[in-house]
Amino acid sequence: MLPQSIQLPEITIHEKVSIDPARAAVIVVDMQNDFAHPRGRLFVPDAPKTIANIARLINRARIHGVPVIYTQDWHMKEDPEFRIWGEHAVAGTWGAEIVDELKPLEGDIVIKKLRYDAFYGTQLEHLLSRVLRRDVLIITGTVANICVLHTAGSAALRWFDIVVPIDGISALTQFDLYAALRQVDFLYKGRIVRSVDNIEFTR
């Protein structure tokens, strides 16, 4: 039987993180209409609250020459994942498009992914390691304990350094958000920072 209450473990939260822009890339995970728009099929109610924060971060990243990489959940009809979540982010539909407020600009990179993990079946690792030569990933987006966490974990297993701003990610519940942050901190040794505004690009 599960306990009625549990003691939450400590999470290390950094007030400020300084990153060399020559080593960094920003990953925006699945900020698509089906997840981040109220009419989306799998709408995450807290996702819209992160949009302005993510926008500020990517604007500063572009100024400092930091690549911005979007992941886009992208499913064909009859995808087996629909047995879990129902139909969502179908290739070429409105629901699969990135929300208007965060539309990629020329020079940004969009990775269409098949599952939760943005490295699974994509060219992401090759782009980061061989083409862009970036080893510090600032990961934002939704859903915190699903696609954000799987992408962060997969990055950590490839020895990328991970930075996750709390106000740049969203989950369906506060428990899910906390669980994701706990895993990033405890298991993947990522740096959790309170706000996107406390990430500083300095050489």
DSSP 57: H
Nearest to 58 by CA among 14, 104, 18, 16: 104
Q: What is the DSSP string of 98-155?
A: BPGGGPPPTT-EEEEESSS-TTTTSSHHHIIIIII---EEEEEEE-IIIIIHHHHHHH
Beta strand 109-113 with 161-165: parallel, antiparallel or unpaired?
unpaired
Give me the pLDDT at residue 67, please: 98
59-80 pLDDT per residue, tens: 999 999 999 999 999 999 999 9
Nearest to 156 by CA among 119, 115, 198: 119
Residue ranges in the chain whose pLDDT is less than 70: none
Nearest to 168 by CA among 95, 102, 85: 102
Q: Which two tokens stand for residue 9?
A: 């473990």
* 30 in Cβ contact with 144 (< 8 Å): no
Catalytic positions are: 30, 113, 147
Q: Output the CA–CA distances (angstroms, integers) from residue 158 to 56, 100, 119, 142, 153, in the order listed.
A: 28, 32, 10, 21, 9
H or E stretch covering 48? helix 47-63
| Structural domains in the chain, sorted by start | 13-201 (3.40.50.850)
* 131 in Cβ contact with 100 (< 8 Å): no
